[in-house]
Amino acid sequence: MRLGLLPALRGALIVLLVLGVSSTDARAQAPINSNVALQPSKGGLIVRQQFRYTQASFSSPMGELDIETLTSIWTLVYGLSERFTLILESPLVISRQIDNKTTGVGSKDSGFGDLRLMSKLRLYRDDFGPTSTARFDLIGGVELPTGSRKFGNDSFDPIVGGVYSYINDRHGFNADVLWKFNTGDAASNVDMLKYDLAYSYRLSPETYASQNPTALFAGLELNGISETNDDNELFLSPGLQYVTQRWIIETTIQIPIWQSLNARAEREYVIGFGLRFQF
């Protein structure tokens, strides 16, 4: 039996599923859910695959909804020059299960979200040690109306922002701010501020090996969003990353520590797992 969705509810669920995705970055010593001011070298290509499981709930006029979503996000990162990078991100909702706990009615669906074409331009770089650097990048791009009706917006939405990274051997700090202009119709015309603070620590090794170095990083992030409809969310996100010269494996859990929501579904937790490959 299909669950009919009111237009307003549909908008809320799109916001939940597509805009709440992780960072567009694919570099190492990079937080999992935030951006980083590191870029591939000229001609360098990084492919990132993430899987995200989200458990959420939403109080609608139709009843209490329980929402489980599994999303796959492909990200391609290509270095056009040593200071300018193109990023293409493609979200796919593998499965979204909505159960109305009030009526017992449920539905399941899937589909593509909107593609994001982003870029990063490095404005500042200070490499102050063999394994230490401070950098600032401008971020700009657009979310394209390429997704399915259920999981995408019908407008070209510009995104602008910046990211600062400070990495001093075992310690890494990242801060980013992004603003998304929603150019869609009035019903869904909500702009979004995304902001992140992240710290990562190299658990092992204390000193890198000279040959085939690898590393295990622990990270702690604060990931926030604030929308012009007064919806606000802030997540605490611990994570782990194992980094080699060619690939990275990583996992994270995002736990809400502050939520003030009207239109957006309330995420209870998000579990992320990902891989990155460098070519």
Partner 1 sequence: MLKKLLKSVPFVSLLGVPMVTAAGCQSTQTVDDNSKSISVEPADVFTVDRTAELWVKGLACPFCVQNVDKRIAVVSGVDDVDVDLPTGKVRVLLSDSRPASKEDLVSAVAASGFTLDRIEMP
- CB of residue 44 vs partner 1: minimum separation in angstroms? 6
How long a stretch of residues is the chain? 279
Residues linked to residue 173 through DSSP beta bridges, in sequence order: 166, 199
Residues of span 177-236 touching partner 1 by CB under 8 A: 207-210, 213-215, 217
- 27 part of the interface to partner 1, by CB under 8 A: yes
Contacting residue, 17, 18, 28, 93, with partner 1 by CB under 8 A: 28
Taking CB under 8 A as the binding criterion, the range among 41-49, 144-152, 190-198, 231-239 that sits at the site for partner 1 is: 41-49
Q: Is 268:254 a contact under the CB 8 Å cutoff?
A: no
CA distance 192 to 185: 15
- Name the residue type at position 16: L
Q: Which residues contact 177 (CB under 8 A, 6 or more apart)?
A: 161, 162, 163, 193, 194, 195
Instruction: Report phi then psi at 96, rounded to 5.
Output: -130, 120
- CB of residue 219 vs partner 1: minimum separation in angstroms? 12
Taking CB under 8 A as the binding criterion, the range among 74-82, 104-112, 154-162, 186-194 that sits at the site for partner 1 is: 74-82
Residues linked to residue 56 through DSSP beta bridges, in sequence order: 67, 267
- 101 part of the interface to partner 1, by CB under 8 A: no
- CB of residue 122 vs partner 1: minimum separation in angstroms? 8
- CB of residue 37 vs partner 1: minimum separation in angstroms? 10
Termini Cα distance of the chain:
46
**Cβ proximity to partner 1, 103 vs 213, nearer residue:** 213
Taking CB under 8 A as the binding criterion, the range among 40-48, 87-95, 179-187, 264-272 that sits at the site for partner 1 is: 40-48
**Cβ proximity to partner 1, 112 vs 247, nearer residue:** 247
Q: Which residues contact 248 (CB under 8 A, 6 or more apart)?
A: 28, 241, 242, 274, 275, 276
**Cβ proximity to partner 1, 10 vs 83, nearer residue:** 83
CA distance 34 to 47: 17
- 268 part of the interface to partner 1, by CB under 8 A: no
Which residues contact partner 1 (rule: CB under 8 A)?
27-29, 38-44, 79, 81-83, 122, 125, 127-133, 167, 172, 207-210, 213-215, 217, 243-246, 248, 278
